[in-house]
Amino acid sequence: MKFLIKSATIVDPNSSFNGQVKDILIDKGQIVQIDSEIEAKGAELYDATGQFVSPGWMDMHANFGDPGLETKEDINSGCAAAAAGGFTAVAVMPNTNPPLHSKSEIEYLKNRAKGQAVDVFPIGSLSVKREGVDIAELYDMTQSGAVAFSDGNKPVQNAGLMMRSLQYALAFNGLVISYAEDASIAEKAKVNEGVTSTYLGMKGIPNMAEELMVARDIFLAEYTGGKIHFTTVSTAGSVELIRAARKKGLQVTADVAAHHLLLDDSVLMGFDSNYKVKPPLRSQHDIKALKAGLKEGVIDAVVSQHTPHEIEFKDQEFETSAFGISSLETTYAVFNMACEKVLALEEMVDALAISPREILNLEIPVVDLNKKANITIFDPDHKWTLASENIRSKSKNTPFIGKELKGKAFAIFNNGQLKIN
C-alpha cells in the first residue's frame, strides 16, 4: 500500500529536508520519495497543508494495565490512546499485576503488542515483585526485550539495592530509571508542601523528599560508573543537582511530565482529584526551573506519566483518591502550551522523539529517503477541546475534559499503518 503525504513542513534536525515543505511518498512502510510535487496513482492521500511532520514521538513513561490490570488499560486501548496523542512508541512501566519482573512477563507483553502501529517497549522491574529487596533478572529481561529497569511508582528506598543494580547493569550497558522520593519524608502526604497545602490545611510533600533521593542516586552513579535516568523530576533543586552531575561528566539523564510544566499546586484549591499526581504539582518557581532545565538540555525528555484509573479510584474524597492523570492524548498539547514561548519547534521534537530513544539506546527514526516511515503529523497552533466521548483510553481521569487545548497530533504512520485522529 502506498501513502502520499502532501505539503508537510518537515521538522527533523537529522533530515536533509529539515525545515522544507515537501510531499512524502511511502511505499511498503519505507519513505521512497520526498519532493515538491509528487504524483502517485493509487496512493492513499493525506493533505498535510499547514501541518508539520517529525520523527514519530516516543513516550518513555507510560502505565498500561496489562497484565492483570486490564480494566485500567489494556494493550489495544493504550496503543489507541498513544496514537491519538501522536506517539509511535511507548515505554511502559512495570506497575502491573504481576509486575514485569522476569523474562516471562517481558515476553508476554512484547507478544501482546505485535501488530500495533505503536511500538511497545517494556521497562523491567528493578527488584523482584517491585518489593525493593532483591534484584530482579535484569540481564534475562534485557535479552527478552526490556529497555531499562525501574520499580515504577515505588521509589527504591534501599541504597544498597540501587548501588548493586547500577553495578550489575554496567555489565550489559543497562539503564536504571529512578523515581526519586524519600518515603520517610513524603510519608502519606498528598500535595506539595507550600502556601497551597497550608491554606488547605493538608500535610505537604517537601521538595527535599525528591531532592535527597536525586542526590543519593547521583552519588551512587558516580561511585559505580553506572547510567541512571531520573523520571518525572519536579523541583528546582532536582534540576540543579542534575545540572551539577552532568557538568561532572556523569551518565545522568532526566525527564519531566508535561503536566509539571503547565500546572502549579494552586489548581488544587477546588479539591479536584484529577489534579492529584505524584510527584505532586509544585510551585511556579519549580516550573520556571524545569523549563530552564529543558532549554539547557539538563532535562532531556518530556513524558506523559500516563496513569489511567477506573472511575471508582478517582471519584472520591481527594485524600483517598488515587494518584495520576490519563494523559497520553493530551501530553503534546499540555507541553506545547507550557513551552511554546520557551522552546523552538525543533527542541520540542527533540524532547518528544529523539532524546527518549537516545536515552533508551533505540534506533532514532529520520524523515529522509530510504528510511523506515515512522512519523508524527501535527499542528502546534491548532486549538481543540477534549471531549470525554473522544478519549481512546479506557480511563477518563483527566482534568482537561472540556478545556481548550492548543497543539494537536493529527496522524501517525508506523509499521506500515496510517492512523488518523
Looking at the structure, tell me whether residues 97 and 171 fall in a common domain.
yes
**Across 256-281, average pLDDT:** 97
**Across 378-404, average pLDDT:** 98
Looking at the structure, tell me whether residues 146 and 224 fall in a common domain.
yes
Looking at the structure, tell me whether residues 127 and 251 fall in a common domain.
yes
Number of domains composing the chain: 2
- 300, pLDDT greater than 90: yes
**Residue 346: inside a domain:** yes
Domain stop point among 359, 379, 401: 359
Average pLDDT score over the chain: 97
Looking at the structure, tell me whether residues 184 and 280 fall in a common domain.
yes
**Residue 211: inside a domain:** yes
What pLDDT is stored for residue 43 in this prediction?
Answer: 92
Q: Rounded distance, CA 240 to CA 409, Å?
A: 32
**Across 374-384, average pLDDT:** 98
**Residue 47: inside a domain:** yes
DSSP for 70-86, written as a single string = TTT--HHHHHHHHHHTT
Which of these, 411, 363, 373, lies nearest to 28 by C-alpha position? 373
Domain stop point among 319, 336, 359: 359
Looking at the structure, tell me whether residues 102 and 159 fall in a common domain.
yes
**Residue 15: inside a domain:** yes
The 10s digit of each residue's pLDDT in 107-134 is 999 999 999 999 999 999 999 999 999 9
Looking at the structure, tell me whether residues 323 and 414 fall in a common domain.
no
At 2, the amino acid letter reads K
**Residue 365: inside a domain:** no
**Which range marks the domain in which residue 82 is found?**
56-359
Q: Rounded distance, CA 57 to CA 349, Å?
A: 8
Domain stop point among 313, 330, 359: 359
**Across 62-66, average pLDDT:** 97
* The model scores a pTM over 0.85: yes
DSSP 128: G
- Expressed in angstroms, the distance from the first to the final Cα of the chain is 20
Q: Are 362 and 353 in contact (CB under 8 A)?
A: no
**Across 256-279, average pLDDT:** 97
**Across 4-17, average pLDDT:** 97
Cis, peptide link before residue 67, omega less than 30° from 0: yes
Q: Rounded distance, CA 52 to CA 27, Å?
A: 20
Looking at the structure, tell me whether residues 39 and 92 fall in a common domain.
no
DSSP for 387-414, written as a single string = -GGG--SS----TTBT-EEEEEEEEEEE
Looking at the structure, tell me whether residues 339 and 375 fall in a common domain.
no
Looking at the structure, tell me whether residues 255 and 378 fall in a common domain.
no
Residue 196 main-chain phi, psi, to 5 deg = -65, -45
Looking at the structure, tell me whether residues 340 and 378 fall in a common domain.
no
Q: Rounded distance, CA 8 to CA 389, Å?
A: 29
Helices 207-224 and 236-247 pack at an angle, to 10 degrees, of: 20
- 1, pLDDT greater than 90: no
CATH code assigned at 177: 3.20.20.140
Residue 71 main-chain phi, psi, to 5 deg = -70, -20
Q: Are 340 and 261 in contact (CB under 8 A)?
A: no
Looking at the structure, tell me whether residues 279 and 211 fall in a common domain.
yes
**Residue 364: inside a domain:** no
CATH code assigned at 390: 2.30.40.10
DSSP for 219-277, written as a single string = HHHHHH---EEE-S---HHHHHHHHHHHHTT--EEEEEETHHHH--GGGGGG--GGG--
- 250, pLDDT greater than 90: yes
Looking at the structure, tell me whether residues 136 and 226 fall in a common domain.
yes
